[in-house]
Amino acid sequence: MIEVQNLVKDYGPIRALGGVSFSVQRGEVVGFLGPNGAGKTTCMKIVTGFIAATSGSVTVDGKDVVEDGVEVRRRIGYLPENAPVYPDMTVREYLAFVAGVRGITKADIARRLNDVALRVGIVNVLDQEIGTLSKGYRQRTGLAQAMIHDPEILILDEPTSGLDPNQIVEIRALIKDLGKDRTVILSTHNLPEVTATCNRILLIHRGRLVANGTPGSISAAHGGNNNFLVEVDVREGARPPADLLARLPGVKSVLPADRPGAAGEPLRVEATGDADLRPAIFDLAVKSGWALLELRRERLDLETIFQRLTQS
């Protein structure tokens, strides 16, 4: 449905996007993840036609965002970063304005407005001036604006920024619900957000796509969730554990682990394959006369992968 090919964007001498390609299928909820300044917002601005790429192309249903801009924007609902609004309009006036520019007829505007207000929970502030609203309500007003024409595609730039934890949960649930019958692309620098709402992650770093897949597939591709943390107390005269552990079949490396306040000797054992080495490590400890203080399988979680991929 959305095809992004080799997108490059230069802001003067600064390269914000360095050749990003991906595609999004109908009905997917895709999360753009990356640190601040990675290029997420730039990418969204290009897809929505607010800015043009230096090179590369974006098509939506086969229509180019530059050539057929108006047609593409008709299908997209967009919540820009920081949810820009007209502070001196009421929520109702604002939504009616956006609906009017989108060509929704007068009779339909009232109906759509009520539907959307109910869905994002702003019915009680419809007649309040937007300038007097809290950040949470302003963000929801921005979301309502993006949904007013019941678009096939929703593009949401940091939809939960500035919200309190309860509101974040609500908005995530709403996005998940919206994702059932339409395509959603959202951006965030918050990992739990993506895992909670999206079925696919696009990890972007310094203008490049560094990972693309489901949370599970990214995790499998980048890292071995097959590490074991071992902490042993080595009695006097016993043989040093690192050497012995390294000789176990299936062990790739043994490195000292960084665990402040450890009582014994903490080590991280990395396995070559996918096997569970815990029984073997336990047996070795018994045989060698170490007191085993801790033994656990370390799942290299997305957080760590995220950090690894974006620290360079």
Partner 1 sequence: MRNVLTIARREFFAYFGSPVAYIAIAVFLVLLGVTFFFEIPFLLPKDDFFEAREATLRPLFEWMVFLFTIILPAISMRLLAEERRMGTLELLLTLPVTETEVVAGKFLGALGFLGIATGLTLAYPLLVAVLGNPDPGPIVGGYFGVLLVGAAYLAVGLLASAWTGSQITAFLVAILICAAFTFVDRLPEAVGLRQMEAANLMSFNAHFRSIARGVIDTRDVVFFLTVIVGAVALASHSLESRKWR
Segment interacting with partner 1 (CB under 8 A) among 99-107, 119-127, 164-172, 282-290: 99-107
Nearest one of 161, 160, 157 to 185, comparing CA atoms: 157
According to the binding rule CB under 8 A, does residue 63 interact with partner 1?
no
Site for partner 1 in 30-49 (CB under 8 A): 45, 48-49
Interacting residue with partner 1 among 8, 27, 97, 234 (CB under 8 A): 97
Provide the minimum distance between the beta carbon of 97 and partner 1 in the complex, in angstroms, as a whole number.
Answer: 5
Segment interacting with partner 1 (CB under 8 A) among 25-33, 85-93, 170-178, 261-269: 85-93
According to the binding rule CB under 8 A, does residue 102 interact with partner 1?
yes
The CA distance from 213 to 25, in Å, is 13
* Integer angstrom CA distances of residue 128 from 10, 34, 66, 95, 98: 41, 35, 37, 12, 17
The CA distance from 185 to 44, in Å, is 9
Provide the minimum distance between the beta carbon of 78 and partner 1 in the complex, in angstroms, as a whole number.
Answer: 5
Measured from the CB atom, the residue of 103 and 237 that comes closer to partner 1 is 103
According to the binding rule CB under 8 A, does residue 84 interact with partner 1?
yes
The CA distance from 13 to 16, in Å, is 9
Pairing of strands 183-188, 29-33: parallel
Nearest one of 35, 32, 19, 21 to 205, comparing CA atoms: 35
According to the binding rule CB under 8 A, does residue 13 interact with partner 1?
no
Provide the minimum distance between the beta carbon of 154 and partner 1 in the complex, in angstroms, as a whole number.
Answer: 12
Number of residues in contact with partner 1 under rule CB under 8 A: 31
Encoding tokens for residue 274? 């996918």
The CA distance from 216 to 267, in Å, is 26
Site for partner 1 in 202-261 (CB under 8 A): none
Torsion of CA 205, 215, 162, 74, to 10 degrees: 80
According to the binding rule CB under 8 A, does residue 182 interact with partner 1?
no
Interacting residue with partner 1 among 23, 26, 37, 51 (CB under 8 A): 51
Segment interacting with partner 1 (CB under 8 A) among 71-79, 111-119, 210-218, 233-241: 71-79
According to the binding rule CB under 8 A, does residue 107 interact with partner 1?
no
The CA distance from 118 to 303, in Å, is 35
According to the binding rule CB under 8 A, does residue 128 interact with partner 1?
no
92 in Cβ contact with 113 (< 8 Å): yes
Interacting residue with partner 1 among 19, 27, 63, 74 (CB under 8 A): 74
The CA distance from 155 to 83, in Å, is 12
Interacting residue with partner 1 among 21, 23, 25, 86 (CB under 8 A): 86
Site for partner 1 in 142-171 (CB under 8 A): 145
Residue 267 region, left (φ>0) first, then alpha (ψ -120 to 50), else beta?
A: beta
Nearest one of 142, 173, 136 to 155, comparing CA atoms: 142
Measured from the CB atom, the residue of 75 and 278 that comes closer to partner 1 is 75
Interacting residue with partner 1 among 98, 143, 175, 178 (CB under 8 A): 98
232 in Cβ contact with 292 (< 8 Å): yes
Q: What is the CA radius of gyration of the chain?
A: 25
Instruction: List residues near partner 1 by CB under 8 A.
Output: 11-12, 45, 48-52, 54, 69-71, 73-74, 76, 78, 80, 82, 84-89, 97-98, 100-103, 145
